Structure formats: structure tokens, C-alpha cells
Amino acid sequence: MLARHTHSHNITKVHVTVTDLSSVQRVLCLLTGRQYPFTRFTAEEFGGGRWRTSFDLLATPAQRELLADRLHRMPSVLLVDVKLGDAVASSA
């Protein structure tokens, strides 16, 4: 019988402010291309041409840190805010 590995994932709430609408698409491409399992995604105009995206995803602490670093490296990202939600247990 195969051993089951349990990983602790937390629901992570992420808010990202970007310079324009095409940057919203870049953020969404980053999430889907890296296969982050997200459950909610919203985008709204924030004023001055800027957009604020919000999404909830399941991530380990290492994945959260890596995602925040990747978002900060995008030239069109102005602000990144990552907050922890509730813990969710998953097994693989």
C-alpha cells in the first residue's frame, strides 16, 4: 500500500494592484501557468488606470512566499498584499 503524505495548505488571500488592464491578464496567466489552485478571482478598476485584483488560493507557506516574490518581480505590479486564511488539510 502506498503511503499518504499530508500537506498543510492554507487559504491565502492575495490582493495585487497593477498599472493597467493588460497587467491583470499577466497576473491571471501567472496563476494558471504555475497551476495555483485558486477559488476566487476578481478585478476592478482602482482609479488612475490602475486595477486591483483579488484572489483566494490554496498554498503552502513556501508557495505563498514564492508567489509573492514572482508578483513583486513583475514590472507592472505596484502593490502585493498576501494574507493567511484558514488551514485546509489535503493528502496526496
Query: Bigger pLDDT: 5 or 15?
Result: 15
Range of the domain at 36: 9-85
Is 4 domain-assigned? no
User: Does position 5 have pLDDT exceeding 80, yes or no?
Assistant: no
Inside any domain, residue 74: yes
52 in a structural domain: yes
The answer to whether residue 78 is domain-embedded is: yes
- pTM for the model stands at 0.78
Total domains, the chain: 1
The answer as to whether 3 is a domain residue is no
Q: Looking at residue 34, what is its pLDDT?
A: 87
Instruction: Output the domain CATH number for residue 69.
Output: 3.30.70.260
State whether residue 70 is helix, strand or coil. helix
Question: Which 8-state DSSP code applies to residue 36?
Answer: -
Phi-psi region of 73 (alpha: psi -120 to 50; beta: other; left: phi over 0): alpha
- Which tens digit of pLDDT belongs to each residue from 32-87? 888 888 889 999 998 899 999 999 999 888 999 999 999 999 999 999 999 887 64
- How buried is 19 (Cβ within 10 angstroms: 0-12 exposed, 13-18 middle, 19+ buried)? middle
Does the pLDDT at position 29 exceed 80? yes
Q: Is 1 among the domain residues?
A: no
